Amino acid sequence: MLHADDALDTQAAVRRANLRRALQLVFDAPGTQTRAGISRATGLTAATASSLVAELIDDRLIVEGAQAASTGGKRATTLDIDAEHHVILVVILRPTDARISLLSLAGGEVDARGVDFTAATRERMLTTALAAVADEYGPRLLIAAVQLPGTTDGRAVLESVQLDWRDVPLAERLETVLGTPVLLVNDVDAEAIAEAAADGPRSGHRLFIHVGGGIGAAVTLDGELAPGPRQRAGEIGHVQVVFGDAARDCRCGRTGCLESAAALGPMLGDDFSDALDVDRIRALVARADQRALDEGARALARAIKLLSALLDPAEIVLGGPGAVLGDRFLDLVRAETDYAATGTAQVPVRYADPAISLAAGPAQAALTASLGVRWMPQQVPRHP
């Protein structure tokens, strides 16, 4: 039997769930949704729907817009996302620099800045830069998301080889600087979230493979990230896929790992760095040893064959800096995965959408964590 306090807790939970439903309906149809539409979609009374809308307006999450077209009676007032108050802070953290973006609830970029550092100055420089953001935007900060290379449980950096961090309580540290909740997101997971959000929640599995200084993967199921219980899903870079004399030494100390053949360093040479921009990576691709690129494509295809047989994904997306490797590389991966084994099917392979903003994945993860809603594909942050 419920006690009085239990009943109050249940009522509060129902209220929160209904607020999320109402807010998502506005996100689904910004500028056209109405109170009556929310009432119809949720089955709630008109009075309850109006109460929910009033609370969302008070919280500066939605605003009233123009009046809707007349349907014969009094014209309803439309509802829209409030893009003028709350901001989502996104930090793209890399070994020697960070890109800081502030996004409105509607997905538009409000501010952007960068900070460079060394391994020795990283924490101090990052703290200083974020303190400046907090001073300027403090009351407007809804949540912060930090995208980083390495495994994380959302609160601590469990392990990051690139950052040389292990068991670092980064979220807690940054919350003291920003005065707002902080969510940590693995970089490959963030890319997969962005791709799923921008393309819409296709039914079934989508396999996202990041090709950069390392190799990582993430799986989304019906548009939602499908992580493992130990935050290690997708750690495929050091799976052995090349054998015999063709196997190269890997930085992990073994030979024949996927990264030793298909990461951008082995394919493009020593001039590659994760800090390079897209145009400079394209220039490296243009003058790279084609044999190294072809060996990388074949090694990647071997891993894709195994993963496809296990997951039966609807499609495979190649992202990260490797999304600019060009048509020859992609065509070879497709050719190497095009085999007619009994009980298998050809899985489409494509590059990630280059128009999606780097901030899109962590911003979507933060929006869901904070408000429980998702952007429609057209709202996902994109490059100008």
What CATH number does the domain containing 290 carry? Answer: 3.30.420.40
Count Cα atoms within 13 angstroms, Cβ side, for 159: 5
Structural domain contains residue 118? yes
The backbone torsions φ and ψ at residue 88, rounded to the nearest 5 degrees and listed phi first, read -105, 125
> Can you give the pLDDT at residue 275?
72
Q: At which of 46, 62, 81 does a domain end? A: 81
Mean pLDDT score, 350-370: 95
CA distance 253 to 261: 14
Q: What is the DSSP string of 27-72?
A: HHSTTTEEHHHHHHHHT--HHHHHHHHHHHHHTTSEEEEEEPPPSS
pLDDT band, residue 70 (cuts 50/70/90): low
pLDDT band, residue 66 (cuts 50/70/90): confident
> Can you give the pLDDT at residue 168?
96
Structural domain contains residue 104? yes
Tokens of 320: 């990260």
Mean pLDDT score, 128-133: 98
> Can you give the pLDDT at residue 225?
84
Q: Are residues 206 and 346 in the same domain?
A: yes
Q: Are residues 227 and 306 in the same domain?
A: yes
pLDDT at 4 over 50: no
Mean pLDDT score, 287-296: 95
Structural domain contains residue 384? no
Mean pLDDT of the chain: 90
> Can you give the pLDDT at residue 344?
62
Q: At which of 50, 81, 112 does a domain end? A: 81
pLDDT at 222 over 90: no
pLDDT at 201 over 70: no
Structural domain contains residue 123? yes
Structural domain contains residue 195? no
Q: Are residues 75 and 95 in the same domain?
A: no
> Can you give the pLDDT at residue 120?
95
Q: Are residues 221 and 160 in the same domain?
A: no
Q: Are residues 206 and 342 in the same domain?
A: yes
Residues 6+ apart with CB under 8 A from 161: 149, 150
Q: At which of 52, 81, 110 does a domain end? A: 81
Supply the CATH number for residue 35's domain. Answer: 1.10.10.10
pLDDT in tens, 308-331: 888 888 899 999 999 999 999 999
> Can you give the pLDDT at residue 1?
40
Q: Are residues 343 and 248 in the same domain?
A: yes
Please count the structural domains in the chain. Answer: 3
User: Percent of the chain, pLDDT > 70?
Assistant: 92
pLDDT band, residue 2 (cuts 50/70/90): very low
Q: What is the DSSP letter of 354?
A: T
Question: Which residue segment(s) compose the domain that 294 sits in?
Answer: 201-351
CA distance 291 to 63: 57
Least confident of 50-64, 164-178, 225-239: 225-239
> Can you give the pLDDT at residue 50?
96
Buried b (16+ CB within 10 A) or exposed e, 51-79: bbbebbeeeebbbebeebeeeeeeebebb
Q: Are residues 250 and 343 in the same domain?
A: yes
Structural domain contains residue 196? no
Residues 6+ apart with CB under 8 A from 276: 284, 321
User: Percent of the chain, pLDDT > 90?
Assistant: 68
Q: Are residues 174 and 216 in the same domain?
A: no
What pTM, to 2 d.p., does this model score? 0.88
Q: Are residues 249 and 331 in the same domain?
A: yes
Structural domain contains residue 208? yes
Q: Are residues 37 and 131 in the same domain?
A: no
pLDDT in tens, 73-114: 677 899 999 999 999 999 999 988 999 999 999 999 999 999
Tokens of 380: 């996902």
Structural domain contains residue 156? yes
Q: Are residues 214 and 293 in the same domain?
A: yes
pLDDT in tens, 71-82: 666 778 999 999
> Can you give the pLDDT at residue 72?
60
Q: Are residues 70 and 206 in the same domain?
A: no
